[in-house]
Structure 1
Amino acid sequence: MVVVFNKDLLSWYLITVKLKETIEAGLENTPRSIGSPRPPQQQQQQPPFELPQVVGINGEIEKHEFDQSQANIPRESEWVISIREKLEQARRDEVSSSWSKLCIYRVPHSLRDPADQKAYIPQVVSLGPYHHGRTALREMEQHKWRALHRILNRADQDINIYLDSMKELEEKARACYEQPVSLSSDEFVEIMVLDGCFILELFRGAAGGFTALGYDRNDPVFAVRGTMHSIQRDMIMLENQIPLFVLDRLLSLQLGKPDQKGLVSRLALGFFDPLMPTEPLTVSDRNKLGSSLGHEDIAFDPLSDQGALHCLDVFRISLLHKGAQPVPRIWFRRRSHANPVADKRRQQLIHCVTDLKNAGIKFKKRRTDRFWDIKFENGVLKIPRLLVHDGTKSLFFNLIAFEQCHLNCTNDITSYVIFMDNLINSAEDVGYLHSHGILEHWLGNDTEVADLFNRICQEVVFDINDSYLSRLSEQVNTYYNHRWNGWRATLKYKYFNNPWAIVSFIAAVFLLLLTFTQSFYGVYGYYRPSS
């Protein structure tokens, strides 16, 4: 009996025994001369084959049956076959994938913050396949079916119209999602119809009133109440999106008009307006802004062909729609044959508020509804007002995640948030911006606002040369590095920071002049005495 302490050695032992039997059988079949004696070792009857025993970890002997077919297959062949199967699967994935149509991504793991999953994981309602079936979100499913039932009754339509129409768009819709959707065709089409109609019902209710659509004024979901803010925040998340062409098709079926492209974008802007990080301008302020710019401010038209992909993209386009942005300036020369790679070490666009203030740079609120439109003129940094609330982090986080994933869009939101992150290093910086009307927040204290900007940009990487604020940052840094500006600011804040200091300075200058005059006449009288 042979005792084997390693299972891997068992296979090699069986192969060795089989090869030995084959060789001995070949020797027996070799023709011999008549009368030649058989070797003594061949005349003896061989003992029966006994399976080796394997001693397990716990010391017990494990019994294994000998598989005759496995002994003839080398381990290397099985390994190579498995590798070939994986390569074939990769080839099929490469052929079936359409990377150019991707627009709904999973948030990269490098950006995920386990301490604050509410910023990118829906808490109330799931839309699309990524979070479908989560236990915490099943409560909203019955309200989705209520919305679909009311739409069909209101338009006197059959569900097959929607299902057949979504079947036509299934392949195109699947290509919009980053990860392969494991749902069957029927399940995927059901999600598109159910979630899409739910979104449109919310859009239309926010625009024309839910009671006009037939809902009760005390409806737990389809009414203007506190839950709506949580729904809005979930619907703006990157992982919770439905392709815009799906919503366009569903709205066209509801209204009975085939071409309704752009109407969903207009309804989406009205629904997500409470999430805007800035307050709207009054009519007088808008007129003053238009006259100061020298041209009439062109409003964003969601019905125009903007090429929006989903609701988050529509919201992002609306934030960046006004005004011509400055052309980014190259801060350093790139190598002609090198691929441009974002450098984490070169993301410091500008110094913090405290340092800039000590260098003589002033801060002023700029009257505009374009929160990203920052100007720097004659040592004054003009920043539009920014409203920070409990949904601001989720909004900026998902906008940045979309810009980081989707290569066919600019990084303007990312540039703005990193610029503000550079400005804000402490609660004192937040308080100074708040005192100048630039930053308004409804969080607990200034420290929470500083942590918000510092944490949201912690793992964000972008190319500084592609930032629309690169030229402005260079101008501010040039002003900051000028020594005379720092000396003048020190003199101002140290000796002219209050009226009493100014009075003391004037009195000191006056006494200095009197002392100089007295000394002058004393010396003058000594050398030229009066006759």
Structure 2
Amino acid sequence: MVAVFYKDMLSWYLLTLKIREKLETENQGSEPVNQDQSLRPLQVTRSDQDQNNHNHEQTLSETGKIEVTKESPRETRDDWVISITDKLEQANRDDDTTIWGKLCIYRVPYYLQENDNQSYFPQTVSLGPYHHGKKRLRSMDRHKWRAVNRILKRTNQSIKIYIDAMSELEEKARACYEGPLGLSSNEFVEMLVLDGCFVLELFRGAVEGFTELGYARNDPVFAMRGSMHSIQRDMIMLENQLPLFILNRLLELQLGTKSQTGLVAQLAVRFFDPLMPTDEPMTKTDQSKLENYLAGDKAFDPFADMGELHCLDVFRRSLLRSSPKPEPRLSRRRWSRNTRVADKRRQQLIHCVTELKEAGIKFRRRKTDRFWDIQFNNGYLEIPRLLIHDGTKSLFLNLIAFEQCHIDSSNDITSYIIFMDNLIDSHADVSYLHYCGIIEHWLGSDAEVANLFNRLCEEVVFDTEDSYLSRLSAEVNRYYNQKWNAWRAALKHKYFNNPWAVVSFCAAVILLVLTLCQSFYAVYAYYKPPS
């Protein structure tokens, strides 16, 4: 019995020696295993792991083999303090207000993306650093290089001229974008040259003609075909912009001129004209002047320098530029000391069309190319015609996003869209506005138009008192609250809704008058009979 016991002890001892030799060979440079510890029965428990001075964890597998897993070294307190210091230094750099003052090309906030992220992100072409290099957009890069190559051949210039010019503007251009950009200096400059030249070729081709610039009639990109609409829609998105001064500098290099302020803006307006929500295109006179200038006639008077930031800002200003000043707001200063946070519960400017009709308010089309210029006179709400197509949603969403992000921008487009959203609650409202000639749409049904407006301003922060339509809305609401107008409208709707009803009413009135006359003379003859 004793011999068997000593034999088992010897077997365990030899096993521990083997394990010790294996650990020492696999963990060179670590502390030697304690002799006493090696004599203990091989058990792995939580207490053993906590008391182990090595940075290893021993586990016993099902086959009886030892598995050695290395733990990550613990972070020291000094490393933690250094990490906090680095974060504070970065916060100090981010708190530099001079950087914020140059910011003008924003990433769309996540709370707006929840509405419809596809309307904010390009599907065909990327411009700028936010979507640069994305896989689904890389196919357009070879066409961008074709544009650069065509420009160099047409102008007999070297690419170095454009690279040097963009290198000088790199720091200024980077300041226009929000957040850190994952592009090196060379990559960023190359992106500016490539995207900028591509945009200018599209702008000039839309005015002069792509064949005049040297492109084939059946070119897959540089031709007025169906894909151009998708490109235009991508180029008007907030995250897909280039600073306007970059485009101005590149065009100056191409034309060999200096300080042609406003020319790129005019080209952009002409290029994006098909996206306009009105049916009033650029006048033939302005188009002729623009073509003559590009052909060498210096008499062209481009837009005055309005300080445009990028193509989306140019497009937005073009919607509001050719119009008189809107009516004064109830609250004149947007950002004053008394500015308060907009209340989401108060975003109702006006009642819907159906309710206004019941109150006696009538609608008619206002004949003007200023789609936002709405007036209210003598019970008539006059609204200019609005064209709605498959690109209208993306256009309005990006205009709203820009006005939400850029503090120096007014909220006139947002005010108009919220006003129309208030007017339209159902397909019946859209149908009546279409009957009045106010809304013209190319969508499938009136219900789709109603759904479009009802979803445009979801999650939008808006103060009703800071709207150019606030005074007009107050006048309409006062008219709506007068009971006599509602009674008169109900009477007209119920008894005078068609010509036969009017004829019946007049006949009834005449019959009533004759009956009264007959009764009067009968009573009169009774009391005063003829002598």
TM-score (norm 2): 0.82
Please give the alpha-carbon distance, in whole angstroms, between the structure 2 residues aligned to 1:449 and 1:179.
36
Q: How does 1:392-403 map to 2 (within 5 A)?
A: 392-403=392-403
Are the equivalent residues in 1 in contact too, given 2:403–2:409 (CA < 8 A)? yes
Q: Which amino acid aligns with 1:103?
A: C
Q: Which amino acid aligns with 2:92?
A: R
Alpha-carbon shift at residue 422 of structure 1 (Å)? 0.5
Question: Which residue number corresponds to residue 183 of structure 2?
Answer: 183
Alpha-carbon shift at residue 62 of structure 1 (Å)? 6.9
Question: Which residue number corresponds to residue 363 of structure 1?
Answer: 363
Q: Which amino acid aligns with 1:385?
A: R
Question: Which residue number corresponds to residue 271 of structure 1?
Answer: 271
Specify the SS of the correspondent of 2:365. Answer: strand
Question: Which residue number corresponds to residue 307 of structure 2?
Answer: 307
Question: Which residue number corresponds to residue 45 of structure 1?
Answer: none
Please give the alpha-carbon distance, in whole angstroms, between the structure 2 residues aligned to 1:77 and 1:96.
31
Please give the alpha-carbon distance, in whole angstroms, between the structure 1 residues aligned to 2:252 and 2:260.
6
Q: How does 1:192-203 map to 2 (within 5 A)?
A: 192-203=192-203
Please give the alpha-carbon distance, in whole angstroms, between the structure 2 residues aligned to 1:66 and 1:313.
55
Are the equivalent residues in 2 in contact too, given 1:5–1:56 (CA < 8 A)? no
Question: Which residue number corresponds to residue 511 of structure 2?
Answer: 511
Are the equivalent residues in 1 in contact too, given 2:196–2:246 (CA < 8 A)? yes
Are the equivalent residues in 2 in contact too, given 1:5–1:55 (CA < 8 A)? no
Question: How has the CA–CA distance of structure 1 residues 96 and 483 changed in structure 2, closer, same or farther, with 3 Å as cutoff?
Answer: closer
Specify the SS of the correspondent of 2:317. Answer: helix
> Is 2:78 aligned against 1:83?
no
Please give the alpha-carbon distance, in whole angstroms, between the structure 2 residues aligned to 1:346 and 1:6.
62
Please give the alpha-carbon distance, in whole angstroms, between the structure 2 residues aligned to 1:519 and 1:282.
71
> Is 2:291 aligned against 1:280?
no
Specify the SS of the correspondent of 2:196. Answer: helix
Question: How has the CA–CA distance of structure 1 residues 203 and 76 changed in structure 2, closer, same or farther, with 3 Å as cutoff?
Answer: same
Q: Which amino acid aligns with 2:171?
A: E
Question: Which residue number corresponds to residue 160 of structure 1?
Answer: 160
Question: How has the CA–CA distance of structure 1 residues 52 and 183 changed in structure 2, closer, same or farther, with 3 Å as cutoff?
Answer: closer
Question: Which residue number corresponds to residue 375 of structure 1?
Answer: 375
Q: How does 1:46-445 map to 2 (within 5 A)?
A: 79-95=80-96, 98-113=99-114, 116-280=116-280, 302-321=302-321, 322-330=323-331, 338-445=338-445
Alpha-carbon shift at residue 54 of structure 1 (Å)? 7.2
Question: How has the CA–CA distance of structure 1 residues 302 and 473 changed in structure 2, closer, same or farther, with 3 Å as cutoff?
Answer: farther
Question: How has the CA–CA distance of structure 1 residues 265 and 508 changed in structure 2, closer, same or farther, with 3 Å as cutoff?
Answer: same
Please give the alpha-carbon distance, in whole angstroms, between the structure 2 residues aligned to 1:99 and 1:383.
38
Question: How has the CA–CA distance of structure 1 residues 429 and 61 changed in structure 2, closer, same or farther, with 3 Å as cutoff?
Answer: farther
Alpha-carbon shift at residue 50 of structure 1 (Å)? 8.4
Alpha-carbon shift at residue 262 of structure 1 (Å)? 1.3
Residue identity over aligned pairs, in percent, reads 65
Post-superposition CA distance 1:384-433 (Å, at most 9, x none): 11111111111111111100000101000000000011111111111111
Post-superposition CA distance 1:25-64 (Å, at most 9, x none): xxxxxxxxxxxxxxxxxxxxxxxx7899677999x99756
Question: How has the CA–CA distance of structure 1 residues 4 and 476 changed in structure 2, closer, same or farther, with 3 Å as cutoff?
Answer: farther
Please give the alpha-carbon distance, in whole angstroms, between the structure 2 residues aligned to 1:192 and 1:50.
55
Please give the alpha-carbon distance, in whole angstroms, between the structure 1 residues aligned to 2:381 and 2:262.
37
Please give the alpha-carbon distance, in whole angstroms, between the structure 1 residues aligned to 2:94 and 2:359.
57
Please give the alpha-carbon distance, in whole angstroms, between the structure 2 residues aligned to 1:420 and 1:57.
70
Are the equivalent residues in 2 in contact too, given 1:363–1:381 (CA < 8 A)? yes
Please give the alpha-carbon distance, in whole angstroms, between the structure 1 residues aligned to 2:104 and 2:234.
17
Please give the alpha-carbon distance, in whole angstroms, between the structure 2 residues aligned to 1:487 and 1:195.
62
Alpha-carbon shift at residue 466 of structure 1 (Å)? 1.4
Question: Which residue number corresponds to residue 21 of structure 1?
Answer: none
Specify the SS of the correspondent of 2:94. Answer: helix
Are the equivalent residues in 2 in contact too, given 1:3–1:53 (CA < 8 A)? no
Please give the alpha-carbon distance, in whole angstroms, between the structure 2 residues aligned to 1:282 and 1:188.
35
Alpha-carbon shift at residue 275 of structure 1 (Å)? 0.9
Post-superposition CA distance 1:147-201 (Å, at most 9, x none): 0001011111111111111110000000000121110000000000000000000
Please give the alpha-carbon distance, in whole angstroms, between the structure 2 residues aligned to 1:78 and 1:441.
62
Most deviating of 317-326 and 338-347:
338-347
Please give the alpha-carbon distance, in whole angstroms, between the structure 1 residues aligned to 2:474 and 2:81.
57
Question: Which residue number corresponds to residue 288 of structure 2?
Answer: none
Please give the alpha-carbon distance, in whole angstroms, between the structure 1 residues aligned to 2:261 and 2:47.
68
Specify the SS of the correspondent of 1:240. Answer: coil
Could you tell me which runs of 5 or more consecutive residues in structure 1 were left unpaired when the two chains were aligned.
15-48, 284-299
The CA RMSD over aligned residues, in Å, is 3.0
Post-superposition CA distance 1:452-478 (Å, at most 9, x none): 111111121211121000000000000
Alpha-carbon shift at residue 244 of structure 1 (Å)? 0.3
Please give the alpha-carbon distance, in whole angstroms, between the structure 2 residues aligned to 1:57 and 1:459.
55
Q: Which amino acid aligns with 2:452?
A: L
> Is 2:476 aligned against 1:476?
yes
Q: Which amino acid aligns with 2:195?
A: D
Q: Which amino acid aligns with 1:366?
A: R
Could you tell me which runs of 5 or more consecutive residues in structure 2 were left unpaired when the two chains were aligned.
1-39, 284-299
Q: Which amino acid aligns with 1:140?
A: M
Q: Which amino acid aligns with 1:441?
A: H
Are the equivalent residues in 1 in contact too, given 2:210–2:222 (CA < 8 A)? yes
How many pairs does the alignment contain? 471
Post-superposition CA distance 1:66-91 (Å, at most 9, x none): 99x96xx8x66655443333223322
Most deviating of 354-363 and 82-91:
82-91
Are the equivalent residues in 2 in contact too, given 1:3–1:52 (CA < 8 A)? no
Post-superposition CA distance 1:236-264 (Å, at most 9, x none): 11111000000011011111113222111
Are the equivalent residues in 2 in contact too, given 1:103–1:176 (CA < 8 A)? yes
Are the equivalent residues in 2 in contact too, given 1:344–1:462 (CA < 8 A)? yes
Alpha-carbon shift at residue 501 of structure 1 (Å)? 0.9
Please give the alpha-carbon distance, in whole angstroms, between the structure 2 residues aligned to 1:497 and 1:516.
27
Question: How has the CA–CA distance of structure 1 residues 412 and 518 changed in structure 2, closer, same or farther, with 3 Å as cutoff?
Answer: same
Alpha-carbon shift at residue 503 of structure 1 (Å)? 1.5
Specify the SS of the correspondent of 1:410. Answer: coil
Question: How has the CA–CA distance of structure 1 residues 526 and 103 changed in structure 2, closer, same or farther, with 3 Å as cutoff?
Answer: same
Specify the SS of the correspondent of 1:163. Answer: helix
Please give the alpha-carbon distance, in whole angstroms, between the structure 2 residues aligned to 1:226 and 1:430.
29
Q: Which amino acid aligns with 1:306?
A: M
Q: Which amino acid aligns with 2:305?
A: D
Specify the SS of the correspondent of 1:493. Answer: helix
